[in-house]
Structures are given as C-alpha cells and as structure tokens.
Amino acid sequence: MNITVYLGAYEGNDKSIREAVRELGTWIGESGNTLVYGGSKIGLMGVLAESVIRSGGKAIGVEPQFFIDQVVQYEELTELIVTENMSQRKAKMIELGDAFIALPGGTGTLEEISEIMSNVSLKLIDAPCILYNHHGYYDDLKRQLAKMIEIGLSSEERQAGICFADSIKEIKDILSK
C-alpha cells in the first residue's frame, strides 16, 4: 500500500511528535508499505523518510523544482518525482496514495489534508483519511467538523471517511480494515 503522509517541515518543540513520526515511519518500512511524502530532508519530513528507509522500506518523494533548487530533498529516497509547482506536487501525491495520513504540521499540512478530507467527503477518493491526533493536536479540527454536522453544513455520511487516531496502533487498525 502507498501511504501518503503529510507533516511538518519543522520539528517543533515537542520531542514526542518526533518520536511518533519515527514510530510511524519504522512501521511503514517494516510492514512492506511504501511512503509517499513531500520529499524533504528537513524537519519532521526528514525524520519520517529516514525511519522508513532505515527500516528497509521504500520512500517516494514528490518535490517541486523550487525545493530541488534549494537542495532540501532527502538523498536516499527510493524514488524522487520532481514537479513544476506545489499544485502538481499535491496532485501527484494524491494520485499515488492508497491511504492518507496527516501528522502534526503547519499550514501546508492543514491545507493538504483539507483537500483530502474534501475529496473523501465528496466520494472522489475512496481511501482512508486519517488525522493523527497526537496529544490532542487535531482536537479543535475534530470539534469544528462536529460543529459543521451540528448546524447542518455537513453530515456524518459526508464525513464517514475522515478518521482521527490517537495512536499509531489506531492508525494501523484503520488501515487494516
């Protein structure tokens, strides 16, 4: 399975996030799945790629040319796909993905997983969309989605493919279904 993962290019100041990223990457590598991600060597993205590769797994990076020009790509990737821009990068990552996971990240992570959430709710993507709610990171988003249902701007049916997981074990359970 190709697992597309969205996460921060920064490491942040919560060391437990780094460990959770490493744990997920190790599982992806050891389980025979393939990582699809943004291709960077910096921040949490680099931690993820390194843990997948070190665990014997495959990692496909999708990087726009302007990041290649900045030399931020992870050098040991199984495959590096270079796109002209961020829109093409996002489209390629969606095309390659069989499942989608958002770990803690910044505005780019939120923007990317929002597109997946929208496509899942419109039934344009039939794949798991998982937000790793590490230490409650996505609690506010979870409440916002519930508010959308409460006031009739969305429905449980539309949000059926959007999952929140509080642990790597829960992520594995969702992906095994």
What is the distance between the alpha carbons of residues 35 and 74, in angstroms, rounded to a whole number?
Answer: 13
Per domain, the residue ranges of the chain are: 2-176
Q: What 3-state class would DSSP assign to 75? A: coil
Which is it for the CA torsion 64, 108, 6, 156, positive or negative? negative
* pLDDT (tens place) for every residue of the chain, 177 residues total: 999 999 998 999 999 999 999 999 999 999 999 999 999 999 999 999 999 999 999 999 999 998 888 877 888 999 999 999 999 999 999 999 999 999 999 999 999 999 999 999 999 999 999 999 999 999 999 999 999 999 999 999 999 999 999 999 999 999 998
What is the distance between the alpha carbons of residues 3 and 59, in angstroms, rounded to a whole number?
Answer: 10
Topology of domain 2-176, CATH: Rossmann fold (3.40.50)
Number of residues written out for the chain? 177
Burial of 42-61, coded b for 16+ CB within 10 Å and e otherwise, reads: bbbbbbbbbbbbeeebbbbb
